[in-house]
Amino acid sequence: MAMLRLEDYEKIIEKCSQCSYCQSTCPSYINELSESFVAKNRLLLIKETLMHERMPYSSKAKEILDNCLLCTNCTQTCCSKIPIDDIIISARIKAGQKGAGGIKQFVMGKMLTQRGLTGVLGKAGSVAQKLGIAAKEIPQLASRPFDKMYSGTYTPEGEVKKRVAYFVGCGTNFIFPDTGEAVVKVLNHNGMEVVIPQGQVCCGIPALGEGDLEGARNMVETNINLLAGLDVDAIVTDCTSCGMMFKEKAAKCLPDDDPLQEKITAVTSKIWEVTDFLQNQGLNMPPGQLDITWSYHVPCHRGWSPTVKDAPRQLLSQIPNAQLKEFDNPEQCCGGAGTFFMEHRDVAEQIRSNRLEEIQNTKSDVVLTQCPVCRFYIGFKVTDREVTHPIKILARAYGF
């Protein structure tokens, strides 16, 4: 059975050889340099507390599990292929952590099941202001969400080469609709017809991260029912976390024998991150020259596609004069991690500070990343240059 039940991981958790290689990529460990906050300790702790109940699930245990950003870096690093992130999600589900209170609860609240962040971020901001915390680091909502501007089918001029559905994540819909515009224009320009179905909701990954399985399942059902019936060649998303949710997590939110599983398989087989899709298909139109240098912050939720982390690099290398300047650690977490930064301000800021230093040292004109949280969270502190989605640079090279 799927369903992210902790007891289903009793055997695989024993595969941890305690090699400690997870220290190399865990952002909360790298920040603290204490083994309390590394996957090895979290797995041992889950075993002792929530799985075998040999130790009480204390406030310290909760703190250590809550300090996991669910960035999945340990899962990607683990040679023993332990699905550490799924185990932590299952532990949170078992611990009954549905929303951790405060601002996050507003963001995570029931409205997510309608259209994700509609109004919620605004509310979170005002609540934060009342509480005197973090208000300035709550993302500002766009004046018009993407789904109020774009909906339906967008047909390119000339021959239609492919027909793709566009799943619009909450980040693009509410905070960065400019990404969505670029996606539609670039796809159209390359001969792709774009279908934007109405009624999409949040992909469910933030709810799942909170251990809210029911909330996540509801969102999966809504989205899958909406997308499964479409006559399209591919389903694209501009957000790596939405992509991960569909590709790796959606099926785990329902029982294996649930009738929806077939539809989930149909949808996940078509899911692509948009730059990954374009790179895979090849550009039909050559981009124009752009005299810029750019750096690429690879989102943590990249493990679901072997090619997603190189797609922007390869795609943008086709823009004449645009020059990639690599960060020293392009794959290290920025600390944003969904809603993590709202509740763990200090930890998130410390993690981010290393990225900011790298950005300052790298001196490129633009910082690119496919994740809207990274874009917001890095962009909040990087004001001397543009932080945006790679698709926007491609759109610009096309003259949009």
Partner 1 sequence: MQGLVKDLSAFLGPSQILSLPEEMLAYANDATHYFKSRIPDAVVLPHTTEEVSKVMKYAFAKEIPVTPRGAGSGLAGGCTPVHGGIVMDLKRLNKILEIDKSNMTAIVEAGVVLKRFQDILEKRQLFYPPDPQSASVCTIGGNVATRAGGPRGVKYGTTGNYVTGMEVVLPDGSVITPGGKFVKQSVGYDITHLMTGSEGTLGVITAVNLRILPLPEANRTVVVVCETLEQAAEIVAEIIARGAVPAMIEFLIKLAITIMNQYFFPPLPTDGEGYLFMYFDGTEAQVEYEAKLVSDICHDMKAKEVRLIEDQKVAETYWIARANVYPLIQTIFERGNAEDITVPRNKLPDLVRAVQAIAAAEGVMIGLAGHAGDGNMHPSILFPQVTSEAEAKAKIAIDKLIRAGLDLGGTISGEHGIGIHKAEYLSWELGQTQIELMKRIKYAFDPKGIMNPGKIWMEDGDGNA
* String marking each residue 25-54 x if it binds partner 1 according to CB under 8 A: --------xxxx-x-xx--xx--xx-----
Q: Does 60 participate in binding partner 1 (rule CB under 8 A)?
A: yes
Nearer to partner 1, 23 or 114 (CB): 23
Q: Does 24 bind partner 1 (CB under 8 A)?
A: yes
| Interaction between residue 160 and partner 1 (CB under 8 A) | no
Which candidate, 71, 69, 28, 39, places its Cα nearest to that of 300? 71
Q: Of 3, 13, 23, 105, which lies in the binding site for partner 1, with binding defined by CB under 8 A? A: 23
7: DSSP letter: G
Direct distance between the N- and C-terminal alpha carbons of the chain, in angstroms, rounded to an integer: 48
How far apart are the C-alpha atoms of 353 and 178, rounded to whole Å? 27
- CA 255 to CA 151: how far, in whole Å? 32
Q: How far apart are CA 270 and CA 235, in angstroms?
A: 5
Q: CA dihedral in degrees (276, 84, 208, 27; nearest 10)? A: -70
- Binding partner 1 (rule: CB under 8 A), the pick from 10, 17, 136, 289 is 17
Residue 36 vs 261, nearer CB to partner 1 = 36
Stretch that binds partner 1, among 79-87, 279-287, 316-324, 369-377 (CB under 8 A): 79-87
Report the residue from 7, 10, 79, 129 that binds partner 1 according to the rule CB under 8 A.
79
Q: Which stretch binds partner 1 (CB under 8 A): 8-16, 90-98, 337-345, 360-368?
A: 8-16
- Near partner 1 by CB under 8 A: residue from 1, 80, 229, 360: 80
Cα angle vertex 183, ends 181, 185, to 5°? Answer: 70
Comparison of 18 and 126: residue with beta carbon closer to partner 1: 18
Is residue 58 a contact point for partner 1 (CB under 8 A)? yes
Q: Specify whether the CB–CB gap between 78 and 40 falls below 8 A.
A: no
Which phi and psi (to 5°) does residue 330 adopt?
-65, -20
Closest contact distance (angstroms) between CB of 18 and partner 1 is 5
Closest CA to 179 of 384, 9, 393, 14: 393
Assess 353 for contact with partner 1 (CB under 8 A): no
43, 87 Cβ separation under 8 angstroms: yes
| 3-class SS of residue 156 | coil
Binding site for partner 1 (CB under 8 A): 14-21, 23-24, 33-36, 38, 40-41, 44-45, 48-49, 55, 58, 60-61, 64, 78-81
